Structure formats: structure tokens, C-alpha cells
Amino acid sequence: MKEKDVLILAIESSCDETAAAVVRNGREVLSNVIASQIALHTQFGGVVPEIASRKHIEQINQVIAGALCEADVTLSDITAIGVTYGPGLVGALLVGVAEAKAIAYAAKKPLIGVHHIEGHVAANFITSYPGKLSSSGILTSVRPELEPPFVCLIVSGGHTHLVIVKDYGEFEIIGRTRDDAAGEAFDKVARAVGLGYPGGPKVDRAAREGDPHAIEFPRAKVEGAPYDFSFSGLKSAVLNYINRAKMTGETIDVPDLAASFQNAVVEALVSRAILAAGEYGYDKLAIAGGVASNSALRAAMAKACEENHFQFYYPEPVLCTDNAAMIGAAAYFEYQKGARHGWDLNAVPNLKLGER
């Protein structure tokens, strides 16, 4: 460990993952521990906020201890504590925020509250992750380190935004969804077709066996807003298709339906992101959020970026869905800018992007 190294202990508990990580200088993950609650919520078909909060309380201490241990550091080696303080489920966020404040106060470390979505974007700054190493120990990624400005497509369970990342932690929102978030559409379609929760990865998997052109679903455009998204029409079309098939007694080919739905979502996402990068004159395009782990989206974006001569950035799949390493990366860049929070830091369930 070099003396000038900045080590962030990061905590994330905004939804159904209790996570802690140690990140060096914003780009290198020393540990990334994620305790998922998926199995617990599956029986209810989605996240139950009260259960999520209780489970966070039960797990958070072990998760943090595990992150320090895996990184082979102690609290005294840590420079600052980063924590997600919004947006998310208020009770869930509170667990992480209270824990981060307690540790920072006791260990006399600076406290940095991080916007969850800023964290998702910052996953793209991580260049060295153990999972990225090839068997020969060589980094498989040959891309230069990502630095702003660039265009980022943010697609998670609660957000669908097209932004220009002007500087670290500085965003100009140029497009957003008018209704459902992309991940929400995946989850709703998965539930309707009987794939269950969590929907995104299940649709992704089912779609690999299907024909993306089997069913022609509508591609919605928002009049006068070329970078905005709308997924409710597509979701309704899928639900209508399922209901019609049930009424006429036809069997539904789930892989074909999954692949056709996914193809419609991916086309909408890729076309707008590519248009935005071209029109605004940026040659770097990144993706972030849980849906960024979708294999069809990654493949389509890689192809479109290559055709348009854009440099494409994408986090490792495990860094796309909720984790604390991304929060550590975002906290590092906030720390370098001088951002510090006081002991009055509170959970802000509807925190807007760019707000502090």
C-alpha cells in the first residue's frame, strides 16, 4: 500500500443487496462482498421493503468485516467511508447510512454520501477487478481508462436515463423514460410469462434459445423528444399477446417471446444512445445499471459502437447490478473534489441525479 493511496470502504444497502467493498484510488477493487437477499424475496415475487431492512441489519456487520478481511486491510488503513444515501428504499438506505456514520465517527474518517446512480456510472471507472484477469494474469481489457466527458446509458430497475457525464459526478440528463424503467419492463414481462423474480436475468437466459424476430412488438418513439424512452406500450403489447394466447388456447413459446421483447427494448436503448453520442459529438459511450449486464444489450451496443467508431465501455456484469465497489469508485472521485458529509447525513429515498 503506498502512502498516498486513497482507500475507500464503501457500503451499499439501497435495495435487496447488502454490500461492502474496499476500492483503491477509484479504479481498483480490493474486495467486493455482496450478500444477496434474492432467495428471501423470491417467494413474494419481488422485494418486500420491511424484510429488506431487517436483513440488511442482520448482515451488514459481517459483510463489512468480510470486505476488510478480503482486502487484507484494517479500518486504520482506510482513508474515507463512502455510502449510498439515495435513491432507494428508505428503511434499507438507513441501515447503510447509520452504519457508515457510526464507523466514520468512531474511526475518525471522512464520510462521503454517494448517489446510487452516480455509483452505477462509476462502475465504468473500475479498470482492475479480479474477475477481469485472464488465466495468465493479464488484464483482458485493453481499453484506456475511462475519463469524462462521455455519454452514458443508465438502465436499472428504477431508472432509465441517457446522460452526458461532463465530469466526475456531473451529469446532464438528455433523455429519460416517460413511464416504466427498462429493468421494470423486464421484471413485469418475466412475471407475466411465468419466469418469476428477478425477471431481467431470467428473460436474458430464456431469450438465448429464442428467435428475436418471432413476434413483432411495437417500438415506441416519444414525439419531439428523440432521446426519451417509453416502455409501457411494449409491456402492454406483450401482456395482450399473452392474454390472447391464453384465450385462444395457443401455447406460448417463452424463449421466442422473451427474445422478441428483449430485442425491442435493446433496439430502443441502442438507437437512442448511438444517436445521442453522434449528435452531441462524443466518441465514448458507456452503459450502467442492472440491465447493462444483459447479454443482448452488451452485444448490440458493442456492434453499434464499432460501426460508429465509438469507444464502448461496460462494467463487468457483477459490477452492473447493485454492489459497493461502484459506490467506492464514485466516493473516491467525490473525495478528490473535496466532498464531505456531516453526521446529519440522512437517507434520501427520492434523491435526484446531480443533487447533493
- The residues of the shown chain that bind ligand KG4, judged by CB under 6 A, are 15, 120, 156-158, 183, 186-187, 198-201, 204, 289-291, 293-294, 321-322
For 158, phi then psi, to 5°, come to: -115, -10
d(CA 183, CA 185): 5
**Which amino acid is residue 288, in one-letter code?**
A
Least distance from Zn ion to the Cβ atom of residue 34, Å: 12
Could you check whether the bond before residue 87 is cis, i.e. omega within 30 degrees of 0?
Answer: yes
Number of residues that bind Zn ion (CB under 5 A): 2
Q: Which is nearer to ligand KG4, 91 or 201 (CB)?
A: 201
* 322 lies in the binding site for Zn ion (CB under 5 A): yes
Least distance from Zn ion to the Cβ atom of residue 153, Å: 14
Q: Which is nearer to ligand KG4, 68 or 291 (CB)?
A: 291
Q: Which is nearer to Zn ion, 175 or 200 (CB)?
A: 200
Q: Which does 187 bind (CB under 5 to 8 A by kind): Zn ion, ligand KG4, none?
A: ligand KG4
Least distance from Zn ion to the Cβ atom of residue 186, Å: 14
* 228 lies in the binding site for Zn ion (CB under 5 A): no
Least distance from Zn ion to the Cβ atom of residue 322, Å: 4
Q: Which of 273, 276, 282, 264 is nearest to 302 (CA)?
A: 273
d(CA 176, CA 337): 27
Least distance from ligand KG4 to the Cβ atom of residue 15, Å: 6
- Yes or no: say if 337 and 99 are a contact pair by the CB < 8 Å rule: no
Q: Which of 54, 171, 169 is nearest to 113 (CA)?
A: 169
- Yes or no: say if 311 and 145 are a contact pair by the CB < 8 Å rule: no
Q: Which does 233 bind (CB under 5 to 8 A by kind): Zn ion, ligand KG4, none?
A: none
Cα-to-chain-centroid distance, residue 200? 12
Choosing from 13, 156, 160, 260, the residue that interacts with Zn ion (CB under 5 A) is 156
Q: Which does 199 bind (CB under 5 to 8 A by kind): ligand KG4, Zn ion, none?
A: ligand KG4
Beta strand spans in 99-224 (E): 111-115, 150-155, 160-167, 170-176
Least distance from Zn ion to the Cβ atom of residue 351, Å: 13
d(CA 126, CA 106): 29
Grid cell in block for residue 47: 422485494
Q: Which is nearer to ligand KG4, 230 or 321 (CB)?
A: 321
Q: Residues interacting with Zn ion, by CB under 5 A?
A: 156, 322
